[in-house]
Amino acid sequence: MNYCYECGTRLEKRMLENEGLIPFCPHCETFRFPIFSTAVSMIVHNPRKDKILLIQQYGKKTNVLVAGYVNQGESAEETVIREVYEETGLHVISLCFNKSEYFQRSNTLMLNYTCVTDSEDLSRLNTREVDQAQWFSHDDARAAIRPDSLAQKFLLFYLDKLSSPSAVSTETRYPL
Ligand SMILES: [Zn+2]
């Protein structure tokens, strides 16, 4: 970001205490932190939590996670519930944060959640947004998820965490 998004003035770098050099608009006299999008992706479970939902979209024959952008004013958790319902017609009954990663190509911070839905019924699938949706066992989902994708990274991180012998809960301890 080289110019102020309010007034178009060229930004300068200025030192901000505890933050370092931050873009500053000399006209607005305010710091302009970099802008990026926020999105969520979901590892969607059936009620018994033994299956994971993968979808295909936009004519691509690869399996990915349900995902969507966070609206301004919305919490990430609200987006999870809304997007799962909009794309699959399923109601989320619980959710848990899994992992996040910045995705440079779309300048998006992607927050990944696991969630449990109230049904396995895919008859209310939104066919305008989703070409195909299918429930997979954990092992089949691991094999079927699109290779070298962020979705794969999130899914494997979660499944490895579940199968780790030391894992008494799904909490992640930091630093990793
Ligand atoms: Zn400005």
Distance 16 CA to ligand 1 centre (A): 17
The CA R_g of the chain, rounded to the nearest whole Å, is 19
Q: Give the global pTM.
A: 0.87
Distance 11 CA to ligand 1 centre (A): 8
Question: Could you read off the pLDDT of 40-91 as tens digits, one per residue?
Answer: 999 999 999 999 999 999 999 999 999 999 999 999 999 999 999 999 999 9
Distance 17 CA to ligand 1 centre (A): 20
Distance 66 CA to ligand 1 centre (A): 37
Distance 25 CA to ligand 1 centre (A): 5
Residue 174 has what pLDDT? 60
**Helix%, strand%, coil% for the chain, nearest 5:** 20, 35, 40
Distance 36 CA to ligand 1 centre (A): 18
Whether the predicted pLDDT of 176 surpasses 70: no
Closest CA to 67 of 169, 7, 151: 151
Residue 167 has what pLDDT? 58
Domain ranges of the chain: 1-35, 37-163
Residue with more model confidence, 175 or 78: 78
- Confidence class of residue 175 from pLDDT cuts 50, 70 and 90? low
Q: Any long-range contacts for 113-116 (C-beta under 8 Å, 24+ apart)?
A: 113/40, 113/41, 113/42, 113/43, 113/76, 113/77, 113/80, 114/42, 114/43, 114/45, 114/158, 114/170, 115/42, 115/43, 115/44, 115/45, 115/80, 115/81, 115/84, 116/45, 116/46, 116/47, 116/49, 116/92
Give the CATH superfamily of 37-163. Answer: Nucleoside Triphosphate Pyrophosphohydrolase (3.90.79.10)
Distance 156 CA to ligand 1 centre (A): 43
Task: State whether the Cα torsion 95-100-105-107 is positive or negative.
Answer: positive
Whether the predicted pLDDT of 158 surpasses 70: yes
- Confidence class of residue 15 from pLDDT cuts 50, 70 and 90? very high
Distance 27 CA to ligand 1 centre (A): 5
Distance 26 CA to ligand 1 centre (A): 7
Distance 112 CA to ligand 1 centre (A): 34
Residue 157 has what pLDDT? 96
Residue 1 has what pLDDT? 78
Per CATH, the number for 1-35 is 2.20.70
Whether the predicted pLDDT of 169 surpasses 70: no
Distance 160 CA to ligand 1 centre (A): 47
What distance in Å separates the CA atoms of residue 168 and residue 110, rounded to the nearest whole number?
26
Distance 110 CA to ligand 1 centre (A): 28
